[in-house]
Amino acid sequence: MKKRLSEEKVFKDPVHNYVYVQDQTIWDLINTKEFQRLRRIRQLGTSYLTFHGAEHSRFSHSLGVYEITRKIISQFERHGYPDWPKSERLVSLCAALLHDVGHGPFSHSLEQVFDTHHEQWTCKIILENTEVNRVLRGVSEDFPEKVASVIRRTYTKPIVVSLISSQLDADRMDYLLRDAYYTGVHYGTFDLERILRVLRPHQGSIVVKESGMHAVEHYLMSRYQMYWQIYFHPVTRSSEIILRQIFRRARELYETGYSFQYMPKPLQALLEGTIDVPSYLKLDESLVQTAFGEWAEEDDDLLRDLCDRFLNRRLYKYITLDNPDEKLLNEIEEQWRMIGLHPDYHMEIDFPYDQPYDVYRPDTKKGEKEEKTPILLLDEQDHLNEISRKSDIVRSITGLHQGQYHLYYPEEPLLRAAGRLPAGIRELFKLDARQAERF
């Protein structure tokens, strides 16, 4: 059953000005407990420890993705483009709204430790016994599966998938603008209205009218800058490393039979690998940070220190390495052990390839983790060209990696032990024994 609201609902939004809800199904989905939980999940994970304004939630981002998708579809329908299947409107809006409903606390860091993926949890929440599932079944019995298949990128209409998951999708467009707004930078700003005006449905895909190429260039440059200035920021990486180490240490202790003074049931199920949808939905950042506060008083020195560091922003420092060789790393590990540090937890080499973000690539292949439809330009003769073939600007940044190796470590114990470390190590880490007086 598809039903329009008798009166349009409106959310005030700092990025899109207003978010308009016209469908009863969308309104009911927003009011489910599973969607409301996204208010308690930050959009940018630990970035608030680097950019203090980055406190925005997955809830506000999901509304933004829905709104951009609604605007695109409205434009297609207003112009009567024959290549847009009008019957796909509601499934597209529902998938846009729910695409992140499976995110866990500090999502990507948690996923790396426990080998889970938010899209899998999104589909479980859509398909299992949840309020979201009941709302979707109110449309039709097979509607939850349709929405889930859009999330999985297996839906029978690729044009619907590309609205939510492509190189120029509603998800990316919202999070670039929203993240730029809340981090207080201008890198992520671009002309969204112009891009929406030049999008076209064409032969089962969404393409860009060639006259709009410059607006898309601006979008891709903004995306490139946001990745290197915000998402790959080395201080944020430090907080992510400590967060992952907390989860790793907690799991390590749990598996060896350590008796925690405090262990909420959802976290226990996560550590056991037995977590189900009801328990997963209880996992939010409030619960996790409460656990960290308690674990900061645990008997295990390592877990206690890691939690204290995360909660009080005593992050690891880092040095930049051009090309870390095995001999150097082995020497550092040996010195770490000598001064009582744990190399598995107190040094980590990081290179920003493992982020869920990436710069534009025109040639992602089927089966790759981040397979995305490339951006295609439609010329006046109805010919399609991948944008980097036409744009020098896009070609110059396509697939470009400018990351550096960073070695992260706790500064205080190194300073205390500076006088016992070899001169080469002191020089590498820029240690001054006189600084140790502060500790």
- pLDDT for res 15: 97
Q: Domain-by-domain residue ranges, the chain?
A: 4-232+373-397, 235-315, 317-351+405-439
Please list, in sequence order, all residues whose beta carbon lies within 8 angstroms of the beta carbon of residue 392, skipping any fewer than 6 positions away.
none
Cα 323 from Cα 374, distance rounded (Å) = 32
Integer CA distances (angstroms), 147 to 28, 117, 150, 243, 368, in order = 15, 17, 5, 32, 22
Please report which helix (H) or strand (E) contains residue 67, including its range.
Answer: helix 58-79
**Spatial contact of 68 and 16, defined as CB atoms under 8 Å apart:** yes
Cα 190 from Cα 318, distance rounded (Å) = 33
- pLDDT for res 354: 47
Cα 106 from Cα 288, distance rounded (Å) = 9
Q: Which of 436, 394, 406 is nearest to 419 (CA)?
A: 436
Please report which helix (H) or strand (E) contains residue 149, including its range.
Answer: helix 143-152
**Which DSSP state fits 233?**
-
pLDDT tens-place values along the chain, 439 residues long = 568 999 999 999 999 999 999 999 999 999 999 999 999 999 999 999 999 999 999 999 999 999 999 999 999 999 999 999 999 999 999 999 999 999 999 977 788 888 889 999 999 999 999 999 999 999 999 999 999 999 999 999 999 999 999 999 999 999 999 999 999 998 889 999 999 999 999 998 999 999 999 999 999 999 989 988 999 899 999 999 999 999 999 999 999 999 999 999 999 999 999 999 999 999 999 999 999 999 999 999 999 999 999 999 999 999 998 888 889 999 999 999 999 999 999 999 988 654 445 566 676 555 454 556 789 999 999 899 999 899 888 888 775 556 688 999 999 999 999 989 999 999 999 887 556 555 5
Q: Look at the alpha carbons of 155, 159, 163, 166 in this order and tell me if their dihedral is positive or negative.
A: positive
For the structural domain made of 4-232+373-397, what CATH number should be given? 1.10.3210.10
Cα 333 from Cα 345, distance rounded (Å) = 11
> Tokens 């989860």 label which residue?
247
Neighbours of 39 (CB within 10 A): 11
Cα 408 from Cα 246, distance rounded (Å) = 15
Cα 298 from Cα 250, distance rounded (Å) = 11
Cα 278 from Cα 128, distance rounded (Å) = 10
- pLDDT for res 371: 55
Q: Which residues pair with 18 in a beta bridge?
A: 12
User: Which 3 state secondary structure label does DSSP give 385?
Assistant: strand
Q: Which of 62, 60, 53 is nearest to 182 (CA)?
A: 53
Q: Which of 370, 356, 408, 347 is nearest to 112 (CA)?
A: 356
- Would you call 302 exposed, middle or buried from its count of C-beta atoms within 10 A (0-12, 13-18, 19+)? middle
- pLDDT for res 115: 82
Cα 357 from Cα 87, distance rounded (Å) = 32
**Spatial contact of 239 and 49, defined as CB atoms under 8 Å apart:** yes
**Which DSSP state fits 226?**
H
Cα 375 from Cα 389, distance rounded (Å) = 11
Q: Which CATH architecture has domain 235-315?
A: Up-down Bundle (1.20)
- pLDDT for res 356: 47
- pLDDT for res 283: 95
Phi, psi of 6 (to 5 degrees): -70, -30
Give per-residue pLDDT as tens, 380-429.
998 999 998 998 888 887 755 566 889 999 999 999 999 899 999 999 99
- pLDDT for res 432: 73
Q: Which of 222, 226, 232 is nearest to 393 (CA)?
A: 222
- pLDDT for res 79: 94
User: Which 3 state secondary structure label does DSSP give 18?
Assistant: strand
> Tokens 């992520």 label which residue?
188
Q: Where are the beta strands (DSSP E) in 102-245?
A: 199-202, 205-209
Q: Where are the beta strands (DSSP E) in 291-378?
A: 317-321, 348-350, 376-378
User: Which 3 state secondary structure label does DSSP give 104?
Assistant: coil
- pLDDT for res 108: 79
